[in-house]
C-alpha cells in the first residue's frame, strides 16, 4: 500500500480504521457526515479507492465518481433537502480550499446557500 493511502484520512475512514457517521456505502463509494459542517446537512461522498483529485482518476475511479450525483440525489431525499435545494461540489488543490487530498464531494443543504460558492 502506498504511503499516501496509508496516511490518508479518508482512506482510513473507508477502511474503518477511524470512526465516522456513515450514511451510505456500496462497493466503491462511501458517504459520511462532515465533522465540521458548513450547513445543517453537510455530507462527504468519496470513492473508496485513493485518488487525490480529478486529474488523478483511473477509469475505475471515474466510473465510481460518475455515480456520485445519483447517490447525492438519494441522500438529499433521505436528509430532507431534495425539495428545498442542495449543492454538490468538489475542491481540487490547495487554492480551492482542499485540505484532505482524497477526491471528495460535499453535499450541502438545509439552509439558503445563496449564489456564492465559497463557504
Active-site residue (options: 42, 50, 104, 106)? 104
For the chain, the straight-line distance linking the first and the last C-alpha, in angstroms and rounded, comes to 34
> Cα separation of 119 and 113, whole Å?
9
The secondary structure of the chain in percent helix, strand, coil, rounded to multiples of 5, reads: 30, 20, 50
- Is 104 a catalytic site residue? yes
Residues involved in catalysis:
104
Amino acid at each position: 500500500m502506498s504511503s499516501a493511502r496509508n496516511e490518508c484520512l479518508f482512506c482510513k475512514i473507508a477502511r474503518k480504521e477511524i470512526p465516522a457517521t456513515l450514511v451510505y456505502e456500496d462497493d466503491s463509494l462511501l458517504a459520511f457526515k462532515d465533522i465540521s459542517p458548513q450547513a445543517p446537512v453537510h455530507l462527504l461522498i468519496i470513492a473508496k479507492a485513493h485518488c487525490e483529485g480529478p486529474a488523478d482518476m483511473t477509469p475505475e475511479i471515474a466510473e465510481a465518481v460518475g455515480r456520485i450525483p445519483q447517490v447525492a440525489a438519494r441522500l438529499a431525499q433521505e436528509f430532507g433537502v431534495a425539495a428545498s435545494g442542495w449543492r454538490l461540489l468538489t475542491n481540487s488543490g490547495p487554492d480551492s480550499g482542499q485540505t484532505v487530498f482524497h477526491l471528495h464531494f460535499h453535499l450541502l443543504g438545509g439552509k439558503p446557500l445563496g449564489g456564492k460558492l465559497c463557504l
